[in-house]
Structures are given as C-alpha cells and as structure tokens.
Structure 1
C-alpha cells in the first residue's frame, strides 16, 4: 500500500530509532501526513572482535549458513567478513530476519533468504532451517538477545556459533530529550522489546498513554499485559509496514467516529 499524503494528518508519531536509522521511517510517516518526533531510544555500540569471534569470521567457508538478526548485525558482519573474504564462499546460505537486513546483504552481492514473518519464529519456519542436522550455522547478533533461534537450531541437530557484533544501550540524553519535547506524541512506534523497556524508563507513567505500534505479536502481547490502552500491530519493522498499519488503524478510527460521534 502506498499511503496518500493526508492519511495520517493530525497525528504526532514518536520515532525511537537510532540516529543513523531514523530517517527512512520519519520520511515515510511525514509522507503520509504525520508529524514526527525523533527520540532515539537505542544507541548501537560496535564490539571489537574477540579471538573467538575472529576465528568464526576467518572460517566463514566452514559454515553451511549465516543468520543476520538485524540490519546492524548485517552491516557489521559484512564489514568484518570483507576484511578476510574478498569473494564470498559460494556454499554458504545467508538468512536475513527482515527486508531492511536483506537489502544490505543483497547490495553486498549475496542472495539472502527472507521469512515473511520478520522475527525469530519466522526464520525458524523457513524450510531451509528445518533440515540442519549435522550442519554448522553462524548467528550474527548483538551481545544479548533471545536464545530461541540458537536453541531451536541446536535441537534440530545443528552446531551453532554466536558472533556478537554490538551492544544496544539507552542513549544517555534520552530522558532529558523526552522532558524537553515541545509536545507529547499520539503514537509511539516500538521496534523491539528492548525499545519498549527503554521507552518505559524514559516515559514512566506516560508510557502506555499513547497508541503503541508493535512490530510482532509477541511484543503486542507484552504491551497489552503492561496495560497499554491501544496497540496497533504492524507486519514488520520496515517503514512501509509501520505506515500501512497506522493508516489502516487511523482510517478505522475515523470511520468509527463518523458512525458514533462524541456526545456534546
């Protein structure tokens, strides 16, 4: 769906993405008519390769597959791989958790597999990931994350190594930036469970007051359990999915208000 320019007119949306990654979501929301507040709730700190991590990178050709859990993971992994591999090993499959991640891998000359559902469960549903017994897989991610993917692949008989490439932290000035915003958002986009935790730290009692956009069913359940008044679920974390979900919700709300106008 291509949003029409005024579909989100009147809405103020908070974009929590890191500074270097916020522009595409902001542009998509503004193109649909929304006002956007940028308040980064994540900062990405690259990690130096440990001797063990360097060994994984240098032995890339010994893996049957590599899974990139995010665009940050893909970007940093590519930088390290290219230091040692001027040409990609042909027999290694690459998996991207989302479309933005897949785009980075494709631009580097790879042909990644991409699940329709952009999360760990979606990756594990890929047919390629059901027949991994006896194979070696490399999981490129942050220093912390869900263990579901690694644990499930091991249960399916794979040997899994984890390549930690970055840590995700709450920017030091996020709380001050929130206090100094000139207005409060109607909608907050939450792109991960960690962003949700950081949003709760920054916003406190106000965290569940706006409409919250979730990028997965699992996160949506967490938001409902926390007492969120209204949750909009997008099909993925990419800008088009977020804008599509918001436009559908906003149109539905406008329709309901026409049928049931507030009493005076």
Structure 2
C-alpha cells in the first residue's frame, strides 16, 4: 500500500487562508508539496448592524440556518458583542449545511437539529422545506451568496431574514503569487497556446477549488496577473457540483469531483485524479 500516493506532486490550494490549514495538512501527509494561493479573503461585511439587530431579537425566530463555519465564527463573535448567551437560543432549531458547520455551532453551545445529506444549497433547501413551512427563519451567510435557500423556503411560506456575516474579496498578494506560478521568467513565446506548455517542474499538478467563488476569483486573479490561459497538464479538482459548474463555465472540465463534498472527499478526489508517476 502506497502511504504517500501524492509524493512528488504539487497541489495549489485556492481556499481562504483561514480555512486552508486542514486541507494543506492532509495533502502534505500524503506526500504532496502544497502551495497556498488564496483566491478569496474573508473580511467583515459592510456593517454588522443587521446581524446584531437580529441577534437582539432572537425570540422572534423559530429556525437559525448557517451556511458555513466562517458564518458560525462571526456568529459567536457577535453573540459576545451583543451579550447573548447560548441559553437565549434554546427555543430555536439550528440547521447547518455540513458537518464542519454543525461542529462549529455545537462549539458555541447550540444544538444542531438538521444537516443535509449533501452539502450544497439545493439539498439544504430541500431538507428544510418540510420543517420550516410558515416558520420564522434567520439565515446567516456570506454577502452576495446564491439565493437558492431563501427563495425555496419562501415558497413554503417561511418568513426568511437574510443577514451577512462576512464578505469575500480578492487577496491582493495572490496576483503576484499567481504570476510567479503560471508565468515564470520565460518569454511569452514559450507559453503561447499553440506551443508546448510550461515545464512540469514549474507548475502545480492540480488546483483544488472549494466553492464557486474560489473559481470565479481564481480566473480574476489570472486576468489581473496578465495570464489568459492555463497550461494543459494542470488539473482542476472540485469539491462539488456547483463548483464544477463554475469551472465548466470558464472552460475547464474538472478532472475529479469530491464525493462526499467535503475536505475528505476532496483529498480522495485529488488522489484518484493523480496516478503515480
């Protein structure tokens, strides 16, 4: 049995720096050389006022829905800021989009009543529909997220308040690092689309993507770095179907998709897509 199936492989991780640690460690244990170039940076929303107001009036809600561990982290910070204890949430049922988010909620002392079988918005909305008809719901999420969950829940007459816990932006330093990886010190002629691609030693074997926003921002970083294509031998590894769709919209067919749609599944997808040299 090969205990280091990723030995001599280089994997580029696009996840936000605050979230990349576990994925990096698991890939390194398997022998991979990991490069972290975050495609997103997590920053505060325009204002915490809507979230703080909602937390001060938690008695009006029946359900609390949280869509990421980052949102839970901010929830905990704002609970402390407005002096709300977990006991004041005792009447509320909590739902989390995946096990990492559920674990984070439990870490705040909030029991979790529902986690969908598949960790995507569509599955989350479907799992919730039968529970929230006519209920009052607080949804805490990232700014500019897809509206699948609130739209579907409103179809069953749920009263849904959506508040932003954080927003994601392009990390400025990542442009420089992207240029170093995908446009090393070689002439432009040597990396023309019609010619041989860059030497394998200069490139990652695969790039992992953990959300559609990492895909969108990755291509924006390439554009900002003056890079208008990707070398053929670099593989894209996706965490799930929404992320895969985003990759295809940019003309990049994923070499593998995680199943389940979490870090463990993503690691296995990397292994399956990169056969030994």
Category of TM-score, reference length = shorter chain: 0.7 to 0.9
Contact 1:57 1:84 in 2 (8 A): no
The TM-score with structure 1 as length reference comes to 0.86
Give 1:176 shift.
0.6
Pair 208,103 (structure 1): closer, same or farther in 2 beyond 3 Å: farther
Q: Distance in 2 between matches of 1:208 and 1:72?
A: 33
SS in 2 for 1:139: strand
Give the TM-score of the pair, scaled to structure 2: 0.82
1:198 and 1:93, CA in 2 relative to 1: closer, same or farther beyond 3 A?
same
Alignment match, 2:11: 13
CA RMSD in angstroms comes to 2.2
Q: Secondary structure at the match of 2:204?
A: coil
1:221 and 2:242 are equivalent in the alignment = no
Equivalent residues, number = 249
What is the rounded CA distance, in whole Å, between the counterparts of 2:255 and 2:144 in structure 1? Answer: 26
- Work out the CA distance in 1 between the residues paired with 2:104 and 2:204: 31
SS at match of 1:14: strand
Unaligned runs of 5+ in 1: 258-264
- Counterpart of 2:166 in 1: which secondary structure? strand
Once the two structures are superposed, residues 4-45 of structure 1 have per-residue CA deviations (whole angstroms, 9 ceiling, x without a partner) of 631122321101122222111100111112111011111111
Q: Does 1:187 align with 2:185?
A: no
CA distance in 2, matches of 1:103, 1:220: 26
In 1: Cα distance, 2:231 partner to 2:60 partner: 47
1:1-264 to structure 2, matched below 5 A, reads 5-47=3-45, 48-50=47-49, 52-82=50-80, 83-86=82-85, 87-112=87-112, 113-126=114-127, 128-181=128-181, 183-203=202-222, 204-207=227-230, 209=232, 210-236=234-260, 238-250=262-274, 253=275
How far 1:236 moved relative to its partner?
Answer: 4.9
Deviation at 1:224, TM superposition (A): 2.8
